[in-house]
Chain A
Amino acid sequence: MSACPDKLLLVHGLADGELDASNALAIETHIAGCAGCRAEHERILALRHTLAQAEASYEAPPALARRLETMLAREGAAQAPDVPSRRASAFARHVLDARWWTGAVAGLAAGLAVMVWLPKEAPAAGEDAIINSHLRALLPGHELDVAASDRHTVRPWFAGRIDFAPPAPDLSADGFPLSGGRLDFIEDRKVAALVYRRRLHVINVFVSKADARSRPGAEDASKDGYNIVRWRSGDLDFAAVSDLNSKELAQFRTLFIQRTKG
């Protein structure tokens, strides 16, 4: 007993829930009066039952999951949009240049680095230098020199390592927790770097000592997907860089200034 040739696909469509209401009604009515089509419909459901009982699907072996994670990590790092390849050569020069890592190892997950730079004869650090230092800090294996969320740990750590005491206000209540700090170099000048976070973003704050030769009022900037905000407070210059949006980064600056004074 076999199904009506002109109804066969509709019977399968019914079993697969692919028919609209009117077609489903029509074929159900037909099945009720046609033994051949009814048998076909039952065969479909019986096969489905057998396949479900047998649990015929395969599960991916655990080793495959590990392979994929390794591959994704490697691939993700290689093509992450926040590490454009055209910056790689500039970065390679930094890596080959021993000056920066002798004094400072950049923070691993640092998304929010606040840099303080020490202007001497040169003007305020350029955007490229700030962004490069930020990217360097994001590289795997670049630990924070001091990893702590407590400003009472981070701030004293800089004593004796740099000739000023960078403020490290506690902004965790505002959603900007402190991760730690490190020494860094921006355009050959030693700076204090504070690392804050905002969700998955890292903010590097670079702090340097302002002096007569430093360029006053360097402006905020946005470049290659990174935002930089700058300010001066007392005798220190600040530059915060992150891939965080400019609005929240500006909010970060406002809070940083408020909490420093408070």
Chain B
Amino acid sequence: MSERTRRFQAVMLPHMNAAYSFARYLARDPAAAEDIVQDAYLNALRGFDGWRGDSAKAWLLTIVRNCYLATLVAQRPDLTAEDVHGPAEDTPEDILIRRHDAALVRQEIDRLPEPFREVLVLRELEELSYKEIAGIVQTPIGTVMSRLARARTMLGDRLKVMEQIAGGQV
């Protein structure tokens, strides 16, 4: 294995979980997420010379997103209304019955429309800066900010976070 490949592994493999998590939230499918991540690492390795040495994670996630978008283009005839809009709304009773465990939170994130889902995941789960997110999703920072605010409102309403965190413990 060449030194270049070794260096690539040292720099990029630590972000495998981030790449997978982001791909999983974009594709909302475990098998598709794995394929996207493998594709992303392959492209990242081939384009490694173009990495300018700034945030490796942001750079890798940009490629993950591009790979995801490429799969969308390839599959566009198969897109259904549910893929685009998410499953039908649950009743408030359904939501109240469930606990705020990972499955519920993940499900509610999955139901966010994609432009809001991706900025929320990049900010809250991957803890990237506005500037890094703007670079990844290729929109102005102002757009990132308004999408993020909207995403938080939607998700917060669905998870009823204010009721859940009773007594203002935050």
Contact = CB atoms under 8 A, between A and B. Distances in A.
B156 A56 contact: no
Given A50-B105, A81-B4, A57 B17 contact: yes
Nearest to B146: A9
Interface stretch (B51-59, B76-84, B89-97, B147-155): B147-155
A89 interface: no
A42 B163 CA distance: 12
A228 to B, nearest CB: 20
B104 interface: yes
Interface residues of A, number: 41
A56 B106 contact: yes
Interface residues of B, number: 56
Contacts, number: 139
Mostly, the B contact residues are helix
Among A55, A73, A76, A81, find the residue whose CB has the most chain B CB atoms closer than 10 A: A76
A123 to B, nearest CB: 32
Interface of A: 8-9, 12-13, 16, 18, 42-51, 53-61, 63-65, 67-68, 71-73, 75-77, 79-82, 200
Interface of B: 1-6, 8-9, 13, 16-21, 24-25, 30, 33-34, 37-38, 41-42, 45-46, 100-102, 104-106, 109, 123-126, 129-130, 142, 145-146, 148-149, 152-153, 155-156, 159, 161-162, 164-165, 168-170
Given A72-B9, A80-B2, 20 more contacts: A43-B152, A44-B156, A46-B156, A47-B124, A47-B156, A50-B100, A53-B100, A56-B102, A56-B109, A60-B17, A63-B34, A64-B16, A65-B16, A68-B13, A68-B41, A72-B1, A75-B42, A75-B45, A77-B1, A200-B6
